[in-house]
């Protein structure tokens, strides 16, 4: 049995069309057609890829005298080399992430708003016209802060459990079955307008938020200035809510489409360097935030670390991408 016949046999065995096999191999359909017509022979890299996709040895593919399938260790086991996402799984995943987007955005909003009550009550305690002691203001503010953060953590944990069946999309390399790319592409195209509008609104809110603080400062009333700082935080929270709400849904579609910006693994199943750099970047931001906060106790100020990290993230990753290409 020659290589061409073996390719046809295993392609049909997996239920793939020539277009699907070409997509998985990263070649044109004409190239696959020539392989199956014995008009050309795939190079060594492509033979290795075929061996991985079909779950057979390269000897079986290349040697005409070997007609009995010789499976690789991966296919002989219970799990395939690369998990394939069906159309039903993709639809369920997108539905789940649509609901998760609201939950995650709400959790982030609660985290942003958590210190607002604390510093508003702190300002109120220093205003003679408001009858509240500094200790009472601090206690109530801290209780509200902890409740908000606890609610946010609970939302994040619940969302994590709901997403557990599809964690492999973020932690393992995967392929998609026929029809998935077309379905997700249509949903992405339909959602693109909303994605652009919501991102525009979110960015505008974040950019305009300092106006509230400036207005409070101009009144020369310390309590009003503190209240307006709370208003600024609320405006920032609304902007970030819009960005997270659309970002989570957009990322889920891009991940299924295997966009390089959203795929954490290379073709060999290894975690990409870009993903590692991103993880280190945000861990560094968290370290700076916690260190500054605990040393200074200025929790109402240290949140700016996350705003700065968010603004700088895109340029940092863009510089890395440029250096990687060079």
Q: What percent of the chain has pLDDT over 90?
A: 20
Q: Rounded to a whole number, what is the largest CA-CA distance in the chain?
A: 96
Whole-number Å distance between alpha carbons of 143 and 64: 75
In this structure, the number of other CB atoms found within 10 A of the CB of residue 114 comes to: 23
Read off the pTM: 0.62
Percent of the chain with pLDDT over 70: 83
pLDDT-derived band of residue 158, with 50, 70 and 90 as boundaries? very high
Asked if residue 29 lies in contact with residue 22, where contact means CB atoms within 8 angstroms, the answer is: yes
The CATH number that domain 3-76 falls under is 1.10.260.40
Q: Is 265 helix (H, G, I), strand (E, B) or coil?
A: strand
pLDDT value of position 274:
61
Question: Long-range contacts: 185-188, Cβ < 8 Å, 24+?
Answer: 185/257, 187/94, 187/253, 188/250, 188/253, 188/254, 188/257
Q: pLDDT tens digits, residue range 208-257? A: 888 887 888 777 777 888 888 889 889 989 998 999 999 999 999 988 88
The predicted-structure confidence for 25-64, as pLDDT tens digits, reads as follows 888 888 888 888 878 888 887 888 888 788 778 777 777 6
CB 248 within 8 A of CB 101: yes
Q: What is the DSSP letter of 1?
A: -
The tens digit of pLDDT for each residue in 281-297 reads: 777 877 787 788 777 77
What's the burial of 142, exposed, middle or buried (CB within 10 Å: 0-12/13-18/19+)? middle
Task: Answer yes or no: are the C-beta atoms of 29 and 191 closer than 8 Å.
Answer: no
- The residue whose two tokens read 């503190």 is 226
Distance CA 326, CA 321 (A): 9
- Sorted by where each begins, the domain ranges of the chain are 3-76, 89-267, 272-326
Identify the band that residue 176 occupies on the pLDDT scale cut at 50, 70 and 90.
confident
């Amino acid at each position: 049995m020659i290589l061409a016949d073996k390719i046809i046999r295993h392609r049909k065995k997996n239920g793939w069309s020539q277009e699907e096999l070409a997509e998985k191999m990263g070649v044109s359909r004409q190239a696959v057609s020539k392989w199956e017509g014995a008009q050309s022979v795939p190079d060594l890299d492509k033979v290795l890829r075929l061996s991985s996709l079909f779950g057979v040895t390269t000897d079986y593919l290349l040697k005409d005298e070997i007609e009995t399938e010789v499976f690789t260790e991966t296919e002989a086991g219970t799990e395939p080399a690369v998990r394939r996402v069906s159309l039903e799984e993709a639809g369920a995943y997108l539905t789940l992430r649509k609901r998760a987007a609201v939950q995650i955005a709400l959790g982030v909003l609660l985290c942003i708003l958590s210190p607002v009550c604390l510093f508003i009550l702190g300002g109120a305690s220093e205003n003679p016209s408001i009858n509240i002691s500094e200790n009472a203001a601090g206690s109530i503010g801290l209780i509200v802060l902890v409740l908000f953060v606890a609610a946010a953590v609970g939302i994040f944990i619940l969302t994590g459990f709901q997403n557990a069946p599809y964690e492999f999309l973020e932690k393992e390399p995967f392929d998609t079955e026929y029809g998935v790319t077309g379905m997700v592409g249509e949903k992405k195209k339909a959602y693109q307008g909303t994605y652009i509008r919501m991102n525009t609104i979110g960015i505008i809110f974040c950019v305009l938020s300092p106006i509230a603080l400036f207005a409070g400062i101009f009144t020369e009333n310390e309590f009003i200035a503190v209240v307006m700082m709370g208003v600024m935080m609320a405006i920032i929270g609304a902007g970030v809510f819009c960005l997270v709400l659309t970002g989570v849904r957009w990322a889920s579609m891009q991940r299924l489409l295997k966009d390089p910006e959203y795929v954490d693994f290379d073709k060999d199943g290894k975690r990409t360097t870009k993903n590692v750099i991103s993880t280190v970047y945000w861990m560094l931001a968290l370290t700076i935030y916690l260190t500054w906060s605990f040393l200074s106790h200025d929790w109402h100020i240290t949140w700016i670390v996350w705003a700065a990290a968010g603004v700088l993230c895109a340029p940092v990753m863009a510089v890395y991408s440029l250096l990687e290409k060079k």
